[in-house]
Amino acid sequence: MIKFIINVRYFIWKERVNMATNSSVSVKKLIEKMNLKTLTPELDVEALKIKQPDINRTALQLAGYYEHFETSRVQIIGFVEHSYTEKLSDDVKRERFEELLKNEDTPCYIFCRDLIPSDIFVETAKKHNCAVLVTSKATSSFMAEIIRWLNVQLAPCISVHGVLVDVFGEGILITGESGIGKSEAALELVKRGHRLVSDDVVTIRKVSDDTLVGSAPDVTKHLIELRGIGIVDVKALYGVSCVRDTQSIDLVIRLEEWDKDREYDRLGLEEEYTEYLGNKVVCHNIPIRPGRNLAIICESAAVNHRQKKMGYNAAQELYSRVQSQLSKKE
């Protein structure tokens, strides 16, 4: 049993390291996600890696201008670019395509609107180990979709110890020392109709300057560890409606042992924040004491946070009432 626990911890640690060092996504994964057709099945698309989320719409390069050409990006060919290349002679095509593909760091070229490139382009791409793909989607909409997907896949990433739960649409990251009751609180929230994202290890990605998205490692997805009981499969016991794969992190609840000498916030006029990957997230420090229902506290925190985002602050309302009463007495 001890050996099994050590192995589980090792796999979790290994996944943390892989997540932290992951800076690429394979072309094979892109093909599967975007439902692309490949014209170069001979190439090993698993080995071809995309290392940056930016893309390039190849245009001036087809006319022979190669200054500031980012060859390491995914390259997109639309209707206008394809029409231009079709008017070129075979000798010019060979020259231009050779110049485009000679660096061998371009992961793939994607032709939109089901456009089929010339045989010269395909042969040159095979020669330089560059995948040639085709999509039926319009160029602009496909570019927006692939940029959004790559920004998530290649976003800065860290792993933290905690539990991530979707409560009334708000992503709550519950943190605290080991054994303080994070998993038990998450299980109670699941029983009350909310959804589990991850237990024990939460992978956090910075998809934009104001958005953090959390998910679970594959090893622990949909599982909760309860001391004294063991591993609980939330998806199997409570159904698929009680789990989800990803969730934005809107609020952090930090559980801590009750300290009678510490002064805790009782009004909430000023927000406290914690920082992940440079993004600040509202954080509440919740003291733990026998008789306090953590699930209800988490629900109340989620609803209150949602209400604040919609423009109503109960603490400010109380402050206004007190000020109004004091002004009347004067």
Q: Tokens at residue 186, please?
A: 């998450």
The catalytic position among 3, 266, 289, 329 is: 266
User: How is residue 227 annotated by DSSP?
Assistant: T
**Distance (Å, rounded) from C-alpha 330 to C-alpha 166?**
47
User: How is residue 56 annotated by DSSP?
Assistant: E
Q: Which residues contact 272 (CB under 8 A, 6 or more apart)?
A: 265, 282, 283, 284, 285
The catalytic position among 200, 205, 244, 305 is: 200
Question: 73 catalytic, yes or no?
Answer: no
C-alpha dist (Å) from residue 207 to 117, 130, 204, 276, 283 = 33, 28, 9, 12, 20
The CA-to-CA distance between both ends of the chain, in Å, stands at: 72
**Distance (Å, rounded) from C-alpha 320 to C-alpha 317?**
5
Question: 148 catalytic, yes or no?
Answer: no
Q: Are 113 and 134 in contact (CB under 8 A)?
A: no
Question: 37 catalytic, yes or no?
Answer: no
**Distance (Å, rounded) from C-alpha 139 to C-alpha 263?**
58
Residue 267 exposure: Cα atoms within 13 Å on the Cβ side: 9
Q: Are 201 and 16 in contact (CB under 8 A)?
A: yes
**Distance (Å, rounded) from C-alpha 195 to C-alpha 283?**
20
The catalytic position among 51, 161, 262, 292 is: 161
Give CA 114 to chain center in angstroms: 30
Sole residue written with tokens 């008017």: 87
The catalytic position among 73, 96, 182, 205 is: 182
Nearest to 132 by CA among 149, 163, 111: 111
Question: 28 catalytic, yes or no?
Answer: no
Residues marked active site are found at 161, 182, 200, 266
